Amino acid sequence: MRAYLAYLRGAVLVGMVYRLGFIFIVLGNVLYMIIAYFLWRSIYGGSASIHGLTFDQALLYVALGSTVFILLKTYADWGMAQEIRDGTVAVFLTKPIDYQFYTFFTNLGFPLTSLITVVAPTVILLVFVFRIHFAFGAGYFFFPVSLLLAFIISFHLDYLVGLSGFYTESIWGISITKEIIVSVLSGMLLPLQFFPAAIQQVLAWLPFQAMYFTPLMMVTKPDQGVGVYLAMLGVQIAWACVTFLLCRLVYGQAIKVLRVAGG
């Protein structure tokens, strides 16, 4: 375990060296929130609520969605593809380290630092500039746990995409397809309540909403019963396990196909 924490510390340090990078990420998020504000103001026109969401709730949802996107964004898939392409992956096969855990902890570094540098300004903006009314409730306490689970599920998906690097060089196509599918079907861009009922039914059976919709709703509607949130967490845990198993399985297969560069 200590070895993995060492990797994490390394990743955090590396993240801090890139000083100006942070400013741009924050800027990007601020920009997105401004655009989202106007866009949703237009969408709501004069309506008080659409599909059970008020303007404040919808804006909070979308702004947080973008922030969560930043927190969940690892480049695990690209990093893995590179390690496979230049052969460094072979190094890990010789060490007493689990490749999946190593990748997980290495990619946890940047999101952790982003927690402070990106989330804080976002919240400040939402509260003081946009004057969003935050309802308060039990949902807030479940949110951090939910976020962590969302990260785990997201990581597993990235990991699976990265594993495809064992089979093909075309990681871009696979990565972008996954990203598109996730951003549309997870409720990241648009709250799922806006989708036709039939589609919502289907989406309930997919892991994507556990990455965005579930944690976001905890903050958007924080005053539902504790039981509701526990159930949501339960679904997330289930998906975290399922995706975890999937990763182990595919990894087992992928290793057999290992073709390492160099010689």
Partner 1 sequence: MTLIHLQELSKHFKILNRHEGLKGAFRDLFSTDFRTVRAVDGISFDIESGEIVGYIGPNGAGKSTTIKMMTGILKPTGGTLLVNGHSPYENRIHQAMIMGVVFGQRTQLWWDLPVIESFKILREVYKIEKKMFDAHLAMFDDLVGLKALFSQQVRTLSLGQRMLCDITASFLHNPQVVFLDEPTIGLDVSIKAKIRSVILELNRTRNTTIILTTHDLGDVQALCRRIIIIDKGKILYDGEIGKVTKLFGAYRTLKLQINDYSDATLAALREGLNGQFGVGCGTTIAQTEEFWTDVTVDQARTRLSDVLGYVMSNLSVADVRIVEISMEDVVRRVYDGALQ
Partner 2 sequence: MLSLGEYLRLYFYIEAQYIKAQMQYRADFFISSIGMFFSSLATLSIFVVLFNSIPNLAGWSLMEMVFIYAFYMVAISPMQILFDNIWWIRFHVQSGSFLKYYFRPMNMLFYYMSERFDIKGLTQLAVGIILLVYSSIQLKIEWSAAKLLLMPVAVFSASLVLIAIAVMAGSSAFWLVNSYPVLALSWRLREFAPYPLTIFDGIFRFVFTFILPIGFIAFYPAQFFLRPADISPLVYLTPVIGILLFALMYRVWTLGVNSYSGTGS
Interacting residue ranges for partner 1, rule: CB under 8 A? 9, 12-13, 16-17, 19, 22
Q: Which of 116, 127, 133, 173 binds partner 2 (CB under 8 A)?
A: 173
**Residue 248 contact, options partner 1, partner 2, none, Cβ 5-8 Å cut-off depending on partner type:** none
Helices 55-72 and 19-44: crossing angle, nearest 10°? 150
Q: Which of 196, 227, 262, 263 binds partner 2 (CB under 8 A)?
A: 196
| Minimum CB distance to partner 2, residue 126 (Å) | 17
With vertex at residue 122, the alpha carbon angle to CA 117 and CA 125, rounded to the nearest 5 degrees, is: 130
* Per CB under 8 A, 177 contacts partner 2: yes
Cα separation of 234 and 133, whole Å? 28
Burial of 4 (0-12, 13-18, 19+ CB in 10 A): middle
Question: In 3D, which of 254, 72, 225 has the Cα closest to residue 160?
Answer: 254
Q: Which two tokens stand for residue 181?
A: 């599918």
Question: In 3D, which of 197, 161, 190, 164 has the Cα closest to residue 76?
Answer: 161
Q: Which of 1, 2, 42, 52 binds partner 2 (CB under 8 A)?
A: 42
**Residue 38 contact, options partner 1, partner 2, none, Cβ 5-8 Å cut-off depending on partner type:** partner 2
**Residues 43 to 62 in contact with partner 2, rule: CB under 8 A:** 43, 45, 50-51
Cα separation of 209 and 257, whole Å? 32
Which residue has tokens 């490749």?
99
Stretch that binds partner 2, among 39-47, 152-160, 225-233, 251-259 (CB under 8 A): 39-47
**Residue 55 contact, options partner 1, partner 2, none, Cβ 5-8 Å cut-off depending on partner type:** none
Residue ranges binding partner 2 (CB under 8 A) = 17-18, 20-22, 24-25, 27-28, 31-32, 34-35, 38-39, 41-43, 45, 50-51, 168-170, 172-177, 180-181, 183-184, 189-190, 194-196
